[in-house]
Amino acid sequence: MHTSPAVVFSAGGYTGNFFHDFNDGLLPLFITVNSFFGNHDFHLVVTDCSLWWPQKYKEVISRISSLPMIDMDRDNRTHCFPSTIVGLIKHGPMTVEPARLARPITLRDFGSFLKDAYLGQGEDKAMQQSNHSQDTGSVRPRLVLLSRTRQVGRAVLNQKELMALAEQIGFNVTLFKPSHKTSLADAFRLIHASHAMLGVHGAGLMHSIFLRPGSVLVQVVPIATEWVSEMFFGNPARTLGLEYIEYRIQPSESSLADQFSIDDVVLNNPRAATKGDWSNMKLYLKTQNVKLDMVRFRACLEEAYVKAKRFMEENEAHGTSNTPWFVWFANIIRIKLASILKNYKWAARGTHPAKRFPPSSLQLLRKPVFPIQNNWETPALSKQKHISTATTAVAAGDHGDQDRISRPHRRTEVCSLSIHMKGARLEFGSPISDAVSRIRFAPRTNNLLISSWDSCLRLYDVEGSALRLEAPSQAALLNCCFQGESVAFSAGSDCAIRRHDMHSGTQEIMGHHDDIATCVEHSDESSILITTGLDKMIIFWDPRLKRALVSKSLQVEVESISLAGFELMLAMGSSAYLYDLRNLDGPLQSKESKVDARIRCISSASSCSGFAVGSVDGRVAVEVSASSTSKNTAVLGAFVTGDNEGYVAAWDFQNRRRLFELPRFPNGVASMSYNKNGDLLAIAASYSYQEADELNSYNTRDKALYLVAKINLISGNQLVLNTKWFPYVSNFRIVSIIVTYSGVAGPRGIGPGEGCGGRAGF
pTM to 2 decimals?
A: 0.48
In Å, what is the CA distance from 265 to each residue of 253, 284, 463? 16, 13, 20
- Rounded to whole angstroms, the Cα distance separating 552 from 588 reads 10
**Distance separating alpha carbons of residues 431 and 686, to the nearest angstrom:** 13
Return d(Cα 323, Cα 327) in angstroms, integer.
7
Predicted pLDDT at 705:
62
- pLDDT band at 463; cut points 50, 70, 90: confident
Indicate if the alpha-carbon torsion angle 536, 541, 543, 546 is positive or negative.
negative
Q: Write the DSSP string, 282-321.
A: HIIIII--B---HHHHHHHHHHHHHHHHHHHHHHHHTTT-
pLDDT at 123 over 80: no
Task: Identify which of 114-118, 134-138, 355-359, 421-425 has the greatest average pLDDT.
Answer: 114-118
Dist. CA 111–CA 118, nearest whole Å: 11
Q: What's the pLDDT band for 130 if we cut at 50, 70, 90?
A: low
Indicate the average pLDDT of the chain.
74
| pLDDT for position 701 | 42
| 119-323 CATH fold | Rossmann fold (3.40.50)
**Element spanning 365, H or E:** helix 359-366
Asked if residue 753 has pLDDT above 70, the reply is: no
* DSSP labels, 48-69: S--THHHHHTHHHHHHH-SSPP
Contact 558, 570 (CB under 8 A): yes
Band of the pLDDT at 332, cuts 50, 70, 90?
Answer: low
pLDDT at 736: 55
Residue of higher predicted confidence among 471 and 386: 471
pLDDT in tens, 644-679: 778 888 887 777 777 778 887 777 888 888 888 777
pLDDT tier, 102 (very low <50, low <70, confident <90, very high otherwise):
confident
Q: Is the pLDDT of residue 144 over 90?
A: yes
pLDDT band at 741 (very low <50, low <70, confident <90, very high): very low
Contact between residue 447 and residue 459 where contact means Cβ atoms under 8 Å apart: yes
127-136, 154-163, 451-460, 721-730, range with greatest mean pLDDT: 154-163
Residue-level pLDDT at 407: 30
CB 66 within 8 A of CB 40: yes
Domain ranges of the chain: 6-99, 119-323, 398-756
**pLDDT at residue 175, as a whole number:** 95
β-pair type (620-624, 680-685): unpaired
Total H helices, total E strands in the chain:
17, 40
Q: What is the pLDDT of residues 501-537, one digit of tens each?
A: 988 888 999 999 999 999 999 998 888 999 999 999 9
Which of 102-106, 238-242, 661-665 is predicted least confidently?
A: 661-665
The full 3-state SS of 534-581, as one line of letters, equals: CCCEEEEEECCCCEEEEEEECCCCCCEEEEECCEEEEEECCEEEEEEC
Q: Span 394-399, mean pLDDT?
A: 27
Mean pLDDT of 236-247: 93
Q: How confident is the model at residue 233 (pLDDT cuts 50, 70, 90)?
A: very high
Question: What are the beta bridge partners of residue 673?
Answer: 682
Structure-model confidence comparison of residues 320 and 687, the more confident one:
687
Q: Looking at the predicted structure, is the pLDDT value of residue 697 above 90?
A: no
Q: Is the pLDDT of residue 1 over 80?
A: yes
Band of the pLDDT at 410, cuts 50, 70, 90? very low
Could you give the CA distance from residue 285 to residue 221 in angstroms, rounded to a whole number? 11
Any alpha helices (H) in 103-244, and if so which ranges? 107-118, 121-137, 159-169, 184-192, 226-229, 235-239
Select the more confidently predicted residue: 618 or 413: 618
User: In the predicted model, what is the mean pLDDT of residues 91-95?
Assistant: 90
Equal fold, 119-323 vs 398-756: no
pLDDT in tens, 630-643: 444 334 467 788 88
567 versus 398: the higher-pLDDT residue is 567
> How many of the other CB atoms lie within 10 Å of CB of 1?
7
CA distance 86 to 98: 21
Looking at residue 688, its pLDDT comes to: 63
Among the residue ranges 342-356, 446-460, 712-726, the one predicted with the least confidence is: 712-726
Q: Kindly tell me if the per-residue pLDDT of 419 is higher than 60.
A: no
- The rounded percent of the chain whose pLDDT value lies above 90 is 37
Q: Average pLDDT of 451-466?
A: 86
**Per mean pLDDT, which range of 194-203, 371-380, 445-454 is the poorest?**
371-380
Architecture of domain 398-756: 7 Propeller (2.130)
14 falls in which pLDDT band (50, 70, 90)?
confident
Name the nearest CA neighbour of 142 among 100, 185, 174.
174
What mean pLDDT is predicted for residues 372-393? 25
Q: In degrees rounded to 5, what are phi and psi of residue 306? A: -60, -45
pLDDT of residue 422: 40
Are 638 and 651 in contact, with CB atoms under 8 Å apart? yes
- pLDDT of 595 strictly over 90: no
Separation of alpha carbons 637 and 655, rounded Å: 9
